[in-house]
């Protein structure tokens, strides 16, 4: 007769967390930064078509790192959540906090109950009518939500990148400054990232009702030319 073997819950959680972290660390990092007129999202992404950054709703943007199919599924679910909510109530009733909560619940549930946790980290960013209403919700693979005020880093070697960010970030950055800062954080001093390596989106109220705007190659080159190295 075979003995059913026992694994402690602590061990199970630890294994799952390690598995998810490994998966996420394989991909490139992504950063979300608040600048003077909005929120900048910058990802290292060589693909032009498989996006890591996208629009969820009028004032809400989404960014994900890790396994593409998994965060893309979450992205679509987020758009569905926002559109159904805006359709049945009002466009003003769609907010990032409620979306971050449903994401967190789902990720937490998968992490504890499914065989395999989702290998993703996601960011729900919302631009407010005033700067103090800007929101950055960082949601980890296990459903942990953190609410950041100025910047947040997803994936890759997040600790090292966070140190770099801390060393240079200051509030009130203009868009070119924020972009230069983000590139320094993502690439460090030894690497340089060009237009082709980047995917960049902004949330800025100057674009009207739908504040999300993807910066295309020409806009991005123009911005990079303006950006002065900060480090």
Partner 1 sequence: MSLFLFPPGQDPGPNFADLLARADHSREIGSSNALAEVPHGTTIATLRFAGGVVMAGDRRATEGNIIAHRSIEKVFPADRYSVVGIAGAAGPAVEMVRLFQTQLEHYEKVEGCTLSLEGKANQLSQMVRTHLPMAMQGLVVVPLFAGWDDRREIGRIFTYDITGGRYEEAEFATTGSGGRDARTTIKLGYREGLSREEAISLAVEALYQAADEDSATGGPDPIRGIYPIVTVVGAQGYERLENETVGAYFQEILTRRAELYRGSERT
Our CB check for partner 1 shows the closer of 88 and 130 to be: 88
H helix runs in the chain, sequence order: 9-26, 68-88, 96-113, 158-168, 175-187, 217-226
Q: Which residues contact 214 (CB under 8 A, 6 or more apart)?
A: 53, 54, 199, 200, 201
Contact 32, 41 (CB under 8 A): yes
Nearer to partner 1, 121 or 177 (CB): 121
CB of 189 to partner 1, least distance (A): 34
β-bridge partners, 201: 41, 214
Rounded distance, CA 89 to CA 98, Å? 14
> 13 vs 79, which CB is nearer to partner 1?
79
∠ Cα 118 123 125 (to 5°) = 155
Burial class (CB in 10 A: 0-12, 13-18, 19+), 188: middle
Closer residue to partner 1, CB minimum distance, 35 or 212: 212
Give the shortest CB-56-to-partner 1 separation in angstroms: 7
CA distance 77 to 38: 25
Binding residues for partner 1, per CB under 8 A? 49, 51, 54-56, 73-74, 76-81, 83-88, 98, 102-103, 105-106, 210
- Cβ nearer to partner 1, comparing 24 with 118: 118
- Shortest distance in whole angstroms from residue 124 CB to partner 1: 13
Closest CB 54 distance from partner 1, rounded Å = 7
- Cβ closer to partner 1: 80 or 116? 80
How far apart CA 147 and CA 185 sit, in angstroms, is: 20
Q: Shortest gap between Cβ of 22 and partner 1 (angstroms)?
A: 24
User: Closest approach of Cβ 217 to partner 1, in Å?
Assistant: 16
Phi, psi of 127 (to 5 degrees): -95, 130
């Amino acid at each position: 007769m075979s003995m059913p073997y026992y694994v402690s819950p602590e061990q199970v959680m630890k294994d799952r967390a390690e598995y998810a972290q490994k998966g996420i660390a394989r991909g490139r990092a992504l950063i979300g930064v608040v600048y003077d007129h909005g929120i900048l999202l910058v990802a290292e992404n060589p693909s032009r078509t498989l996006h890591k950054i996208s629009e969820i709703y009028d004032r809400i943007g989404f960014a994900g790192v890790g396994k593409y199919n998994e965060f893309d599924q979450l992205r679509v679910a987020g758009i569905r959540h926002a559109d159904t909510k805006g359709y049945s109530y009002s466009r003003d009733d769609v907010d990032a906090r409620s979306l971050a909560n449903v994401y967190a619940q789902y990720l937490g549930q998968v992490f504890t109950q499914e065989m395999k946790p989702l290998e993703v980290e996601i960011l729900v960013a919302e631009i407010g009518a005033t700067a103090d209403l800007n929101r950055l919700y960082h949601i980890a693979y296990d459903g942990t939500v953190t609410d950041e005020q100025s910047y947040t880093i997803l994936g890759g070697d997040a600790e090292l990148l966070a140190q770099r960010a801390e060393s240079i970030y200051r509030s009130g950055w203009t868009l070119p400054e924020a972009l230069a800062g983000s590139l320094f954080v993502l690439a460090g001093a030894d690497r340089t990232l060009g237009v082709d390596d980047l995917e960049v989106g902004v949330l800025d109220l100057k674009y009207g009702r739908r504040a999300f705007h993807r910066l295309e190659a020409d806009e991005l080159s123009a911005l990079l030319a303006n950006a002065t190295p900060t480090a």
